[in-house]
């Protein structure tokens, strides 16, 4: 079960982080613009794409996004195992 006691699960911490980002000049559009510029999009394209995603999330009832990696590995055969 995921740990829900971490700092990003605290509304106060998230609000403080958001305030710090705003005071540094970072906005949702600004961050989106930086990411869009990395892939060669202009600010208008990036904003339009962001609105499309947010609309789709709302239409689908999506209220949160999680990102992570799960790595599965098969056990290595032991040295004593032989193939007939």
Other beta carbons within 10 angstroms of residue 43's beta carbon come to 14
pLDDT of residue 28: 67
| CB environment 17-39: b (16+ within 10 A), e (fewer) | eeeeeeeeeeeeeeebbeebeee
pLDDT exceeds cutoff 70 at 62: yes
* Band of pLDDT at residue 1, cut at 50, 70 and 90: very low
Other beta carbons within 10 angstroms of residue 57's beta carbon come to 13
pLDDT of residue 35: 66
Share of the chain above pLDDT 70, in %: 67
Q: Which residue has the higher pLDDT, 7 or 29?
A: 29
pLDDT exceeds cutoff 80 at 12: no
pTM attached to this predicted model: 0.39
Q: Helix H segments across 3-66?
A: 11-23, 28-38, 43-60
Q: How far is Cα 77 from Cα 83, in angstroms, rounded to an integer?
A: 10
Length of the chain: 84
């Amino acid at each position: 079960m995921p740990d829900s006691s971490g700092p990003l699960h605290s509304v106060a911490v998230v609000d403080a982080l958001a305030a710090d980002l705003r005071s540094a000049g970072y906005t949702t559009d600004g961050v989106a613009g930086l990411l869009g510029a990395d892939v060669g999009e202009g600010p208008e394209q990036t904003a339009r794409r962001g609105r499309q995603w947010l609309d789709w999330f709302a239409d689908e009832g999506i209220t949160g996004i999680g990102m992570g990696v799960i790595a599965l590995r098969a056990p290595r055969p032991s040295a004593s195992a032989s193939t007939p």
